[in-house]
Chain A
Amino acid sequence: MSTATDAPVPTTTLLRRSRRVRGGALVLLAVVLVLVCAGSIALGSRGVGLADIWAGSTGSTDGFDQAAVAKRVPRTLLAALAGAALAVSGLVMQGITRNPLADPGILGINTGASLAVVVGIAWFGLAAPTSYIWTAILGAGLAATFVWFVGSLGRGGATPLKLTLAGAATAAALTSFVTAVVLPRPDISENVVSWQIGGVGGATDEGLLRLVPFLAVGALVCAVTARGLDLLGLGDELAAGLGVHVTRTRLLAAVGGVVLCGATTAVCGPIAFVGLVVPHVCRLLVGVDHRWLVPFSALGGACVLVAGDVLGRVVLPPGEVDVGIVTAVLGAPVFIAVVRRRRVREL
């Protein structure tokens, strides 16, 4: 009856352990990503001919069609980067907390990042785009620490229900604070409200360049801790017995995850459920080995977010649905399915 019986979920790993099979699948996923990105550049609320697509993607902006395509290029890249970052961040958080429901959106960490940025803009006159990213990472870190602290108090440690509730409560409170900060400032409220939904529509080349170093550092940290996360999955005592510095591994991985989701939120706004769904699907494919899960989640997350963005653009023409809404509509059922799959005792 205790949580110590947290045996790894008995999943049927679809891809057997052969390195060649998994490597092949990874390459296949990369090809899929390239195709999805090509689709994202070609498709949109404005139909564009092939010649204009080619000219637009190579930087030419003659005429409406080419200009529209040229705007889709940074947007696609941002969606790919954000998807990869959020998926890896979710994966790492699920690994640290040994909690199948962890996700930067559900745990309220993205909301913490939002609040920090909004407070920075409204009260401290933050204007430099790079400072948004730093502030968002700080806010995400504070929210993550708080949620983890509250969720792991008492017996049984951080159970999925406690963490999810702590996250939901924190997100609700922080959302109220965001509203309270923004409402008296009509000059910024319009932008903040649309940013709060979460989307990749406003992407620019400069914005991408500023984001990349943060994501690179975060991804590197997560990749380094992959082996440690595998061993943490066996339980803290066993991991320590196998020579893992438990606290250090957990802290390092958390920093990596927080940097990834904080930086992404600063640019795209809070996007939930990518970090929940993608790692679960990847785990079905390749099992629990984080050294494979990290690259699979990154590529998978990129595919999902780019595809979600395309879906949002073509599903209700001529309007667009922000990708944050698309991921929530697609991801919430997966969240419910995960809850249903687990035994009551584990929840």
Chain B
Amino acid sequence: MTALAAPPPATAPRQDTVDRVRAGRRRRSRRRRVVVGVLAVLVLLAFVASLALGPTVYTPLEVLRVVLGQDVPGAEFTVGRLRLPRASLALLVGLSFGLAGVTFQTLLRNPLASPDVIGVTEGASAAAAVAIVSFGLSGAGVSVLAVAAGLAVALAIYLLAYRRGRVAGTRLVLIGIGAAYLMQSVVAWQLERATDVEIAGALRWLTGSLNGARWSDAVPVLLTLVVLGTLVLVQDRDLAASRLGDDAASSLGVRVERMRLLTLVAAVGVICVATAACGPIAFLAFLAGPIAARVVGPHGSLLVPASLVGALLTLVADFAGQHAFGTKLPVGVVTGILGAPYLLYLIVRVNRAGGTL
């Protein structure tokens, strides 16, 4: 592409300009590496902390021995059976929500167009509730139905927002909010039908919860994250190029439509399988991308940082929900209380900047 002969510049760029640009690029990439490294360390710390801390406190060494499969009296049950599946699921769904959320926000070029605002996770949650309550399914069947419903909702929103040859972001978001209401009422209906569901179990499908996490919940999330997550990550460069606009991206050699379709479908798959495991954790996908953008800076890809931020948020919010309040709150209640003020802040800030929202 660069071989196309550009007209030779009238004067070559001055050497100090070249140096300044080069130094800036180097500085940004160093900052990015540092931030990603720090985030990864924080996620690891939060993971270990949620294994070690609780009503009974264990040393990191004991935790490590349990994780390695050695027999530690006492800790074997508490850490190995209770805390380890829960923290692992928190880590995996956090990565999934963060990755899928920032993919949506980048591709649709709108921070509001995250899958939990526009009804995709609510659709998956409704399907999971129907599968469990009405059809008595469990395991892979729930995940498959959740992904199918998430894809159906995403497709329906896209088609409904499509008018006169283009999709307007505002219309897409508003139609998505309508779809989210519809799906939530399906969840409420299913909960009403299920006579034996406890309140705590019901909350999983309304706001998301990690209570009672088992290894069997985490396996499909891990597999999906490995397969589809990789599919999203290899599109990283093209995704970054598409932030410049469709025309610029295609002139850089990106097959925009194919890339967009592939990435969106993969992202829907990632977040819907995660939702089938733990419910639609409120505002998690919506929050991860903007926070990552704030710490990494405006340049480069956000996929990895946003995934890490998602995992960190989930681990910390779940830990806080379990221990910081007098009662055990599900993780979705904590992120809901955190996330809504951020949405309001977004509205206020964009207004003050004079942008149109």
Q: Which residues of A contact B (CB under 8 A)?
A: 101, 106, 150-151, 153-156, 159-162, 164-166, 168-170, 172-173, 175-177, 179-180, 182-184, 186, 189-190, 193-194, 197, 272-273, 319, 321-322, 324-325, 328-329, 332-333, 335-336, 339-340, 344, 347
A–B pairs, 25, beta carbons within 8 Å: A150-B348, A153-B352, A154-B352, A162-B357, A164-B174, A165-B173, A168-B177, A169-B340, A172-B336, A172-B340, A176-B334, A176-B337, A179-B207, A182-B199, A183-B328, A186-B199, A193-B191, A194-B192, A322-B188, A325-B192, A328-B188, A336-B175, A340-B175, A344-B168, A347-B168
Interface pair B170/A161, CB less than 8 Å apart:
yes
Interface pair B178/A155, CB less than 8 Å apart:
no
Which of B171, B179, B325, B340 makes the CB contact (< 8 A) with A340?
Answer: B171
* 1/0 contact string of B340-357 vs chain A (CB within 8 Å): 110110011011101011
Interface pair A175/B189, CB less than 8 Å apart:
no
Bound Cα distance from A161 to B169, whole angstroms? 11
A-side contacts of B282, CB under 8 Å: 172, 176
> Which of B189, B200, B327, B328 has the largest number of chain A CB atoms within 10 A?
B189
A-side contacts of B170, CB under 8 Å: 161, 344, 347
Interface of B, helix, strand, loop or mixed by DSSP = helix
B232 within 8 A of A: no
B181 within 8 A of A: yes
B203 within 8 A of A: yes
B85 within 8 A of A: no
Bound Cα distance from A184 to B160, whole angstroms? 42
Interface pair A336/B192, CB less than 8 Å apart:
no
Looking at the assembled complex, report how far the CB atom of B52 sits from the nearest CB atom of chain A, in whole angstroms.
26
**Chain B 91-141 residues near chain A, CB threshold 8 A:** 112, 117
Which of B112, B174, B207, B344 makes the CB contact (< 8 A) with A150?
Answer: B344
What interface size band does chain B fall in?
Answer: 35 or more
* 1/0 contact string of B236-279 vs chain A (CB within 8 Å): 00000000000000000000000000000000000000000000
A-side contacts of B179, CB under 8 Å: 332, 336
Looking at the assembled complex, report how far the CB atom of A114 sits from the nearest CB atom of chain B, in whole angstroms.
14
Bound Cα distance from A329 to B163, whole angstroms? 24
A-side contacts of B319, CB under 8 Å: none
Given contacts A172-B282, A172-B283, A194-B192, contact A325 B199 (CB under 8 A): no
Looking at the assembled complex, report how far the CB atom of B186 sits from the nearest CB atom of chain A, in whole angstroms.
8
B-side contacts of A186, CB under 8 Å: 199
Interface of A, helix, strand, loop or mixed by DSSP = helix
Interface pair B181/A332, CB less than 8 Å apart:
yes
Which of B333, B350, B357 makes the CB contact (< 8 A) with A179?
Answer: B333
A-side contacts of B112, CB under 8 Å: 165
B-side contacts of A332, CB under 8 Å: 178-179, 181-182, 185
> Which of B163, B339, B347 has the largest number of chain A CB atoms within 10 A?
B347
> Which of B325, B327, B340, B356 has the largest number of chain A CB atoms within 10 A?
B340
Interface pair A153/B347, CB less than 8 Å apart:
yes
B202 within 8 A of A: yes
A-side contacts of B79, CB under 8 Å: none
Given contacts A161-B174, A179-B207, contact A184 B350 (CB under 8 A): no
Interface pair A328/B337, CB less than 8 Å apart:
no
B-side contacts of A161, CB under 8 Å: 170, 173-174, 357
Looking at the assembled complex, report how far the CB atom of B51 sits from the nearest CB atom of chain A, in whole angstroms.
24
Looking at the assembled complex, report how far the CB atom of B218 sits from the nearest CB atom of chain A, in whole angstroms.
25
Bound Cα distance from A306 to B262, whole angstroms? 46
> Which of A106, A172, A190, A321 has the largest number of chain B CB atoms within 10 A?
A172
Interface pair B185/A324, CB less than 8 Å apart:
yes
B284 within 8 A of A: no
Looking at the assembled complex, report how far the CB atom of B123 sits from the nearest CB atom of chain A, in whole angstroms.
12
A-side contacts of B186, CB under 8 Å: 325, 329
Looking at the assembled complex, report how far the CB atom of B328 sits from the nearest CB atom of chain A, in whole angstroms.
8
